[in-house]
Amino acid sequence: MGEAEEIRWPLKEAYTRLLGCKYWPWPLLKGWIPCVVADTLIFGDNLPIQNIEPKMLVLGYDGFEYPVRRVFFREYSGPLIKIRVMMVPDPILITPEHPILIKSGDNILWKRACELKAGDLLVVPRRRFCDEAKIPVGYRKGLKVRWVNVDKNVAYFLGLYLAEGCVVYYSQGRARITLNFGRRERDLVERCLEIIRHVIGINAFISEEKTSLRIHINNTKLGRFLREKFGHGAINKHIPRFVKNLPYEELREFVRGFMDGDGTYVRLKGRKSGRYQMRTSSRRLAYDLVEVLIKLGICPYVQRCLARSSRIGDRIIRHNTKYWYNIQVQENAWLGRKPKHGKISYEVTRNYIYVPIKSVEKTEHMRVGVWNLETDSETYCLPFVVHNCRFPLLKMAGRAPCDLCHRKYIYEALLRVKGAK
């Protein structure tokens, strides 16, 4: 069996036992159904769980996307478990009974959130689907469209656009693409112009401002496509699905383009290597970058910090967001060497990354609304794999009570440990 199939097996075994129950213990377990809080982002489209709707796609245990069947909501009263991991800036708040997939030695097993401890290795799947993509380009005054393959050069341009670009509409609904660079980034401007003119095959012109260089592209078809797929405004930008599904080489060039546009390189004191830092004001984009880097086999370190005003020349730039998200990638990890983050290290395999828990805390008694999903794979990612706990008993509200012995039976079936070698 492959790595994904080995993880799948305990799920099937647990449900085989569950389906053998004579009675459905709905009244007993109605308040036990595990969930997460409303603003938890779900890998796939990286939207808060409260914004997920049926038929949307979410990432499953094996790195493939599965449709959501149902979304459940309930009021919860009690303590929550707060889990912190290095790859997401926000702590994950989850009900104590929620099963989470972890790696223990050579085994893959389910544990309840309340049983986790710092240092446990969480299972994070690497997106496995790869497909070629094309982008539309208008010609003959926009009357016709041709499709350009997304190769390494075009992927690099898309990364630059995500970091530095925007689309504005002017007369009669026409779209103009603008990329902004610093005056010291002439080499980057020249490379971008070469890709636009010789690879994509459209015209572009440069305008020089007091503190910046701007590339302008008048192409309505491409402009509308980029605005629709990547979002408009810094706080709303995200990575579309067709980019996440690019082959590895093209996806790596896309990340390199974003790094060159919105990233910096920092040399660490006393070390030969350094780290790359990328910054964004979009929470969704930060999680998208994490998902893309995980696909490339890189585990980033993400921090959330207060946004501060900056200065460019004589201008003071004030931001319309409260937080910045800093995504840090170790140079060793980017170059394919053994990655380390101080005392915290992670394991990379072909289909998964095993990430240690930084801390686990139990909150005080809370009264909040919590959410859960029903998916075809019976799992979803936060970014680590959690069980969606899709029982037939969810549909059995109002049936006759059951015996108390079934509670222990359900727990046993969910948390049964099977080795995955």
The domain 3-125+353-419 is placed in CATH, from the list 2.170.16.10, 1.10.3470.10, 2.160.10.10, 2.40.50.140, at: 2.170.16.10
Question: Whose CA is closest to 160, among 179, 175, 132?
Answer: 179
pLDDT digits (tens, 9 = 90+) for 44-69: 989 999 999 999 999 999 999 999 99
Q: Residue 399 pLDDT more than 60? A: no
pLDDT mean across residues, the chain: 81
- CA nearest to 220, candidates 228, 208, 210: 228
- Burial (CB < 10 A; 0-12, 13-18, 19+), residue 158, is buried
Counts of helices then strands in the chain (DSSP H, E):
10, 28
Average confidence (pLDDT) over 350-379: 91
pLDDT of residue 405: 34
- Does 27 score more than 50 pLDDT? no
| DSSP state, residue 297 | T
pLDDT of 97: 86
Q: What's the topology of domain 134-350?
A: Endonuclease I-creI (3.10.28)
Q: Residue 2: phi, psi to the nearest 5? A: -75, 175
* pLDDT score recorded for residue 268: 73
Lowest mean pLDDT among 45-49, 198-202, 246-250, 305-309: 305-309
pLDDT at 23 over 50: no
pLDDT at 139: 80
Percent of the chain topping pLDDT 70: 77
For CATH 3.10.28.10, list the domain ranges present in the chain: 134-350
> pLDDT for 238-280, tens place per residue?
999 999 999 999 999 999 999 999 888 888 776 667 889 998 9
What pLDDT is attached to residue 385? 93
Predicted confidence at residue 403, as pLDDT, reads 31
* pLDDT given at position 25: 38
End-to-end CA distance of the chain: 9
What integer pLDDT is reported at residue 196 of this predicted model?
A: 95
Q: Is the pLDDT of residue 296 over 90?
A: yes
Q: What is the pLDDT of residue 233?
A: 87
Asked whether the beta carbons of 96 and 113 are under 8 A apart, the reply is yes
**What DSSP assignment string belongs to 127-139?**
P------EEEEEE
Predicted confidence band at 35 (pLDDT cuts at 50, 70, 90)? confident
What pLDDT does residue 138 have? 87
| Stated length of the chain | 421
pLDDT at 246: 95
Note the pLDDT of residue 337: 66
Return the structure tokens found at 419: 């080795």
Q: Find the range with the poorest average confidence among 212-221, 278-287, 383-392.
A: 383-392
In this prediction, residue 74 carries a pLDDT of: 87
**Predicted pLDDT at 83:** 95
What string of DSSP letters covers 48-82? EGGG--TT-EEE-TTS-EEEEEEEEEEEEEE--EE
On the question of pLDDT at 153 being above 60, the answer is yes
Average pLDDT for 403-414: 40
Buried b (16+ CB within 10 A) or exposed e, 340-359: ebeeeebebeebbbbbbbee
Domain with CATH 2.170.16.10 in the chain: 3-125+353-419
Task: Give tens-digit pLDDT for 76-120.
Answer: 999 999 999 988 989 999 999 888 999 988 888 889 999 999 999
Helix axes 152-164, 186-194, angle to 10 degrees: 130
Among residues 393, 395, 368, 383, which one has the least CA distance to residue 35?
A: 368
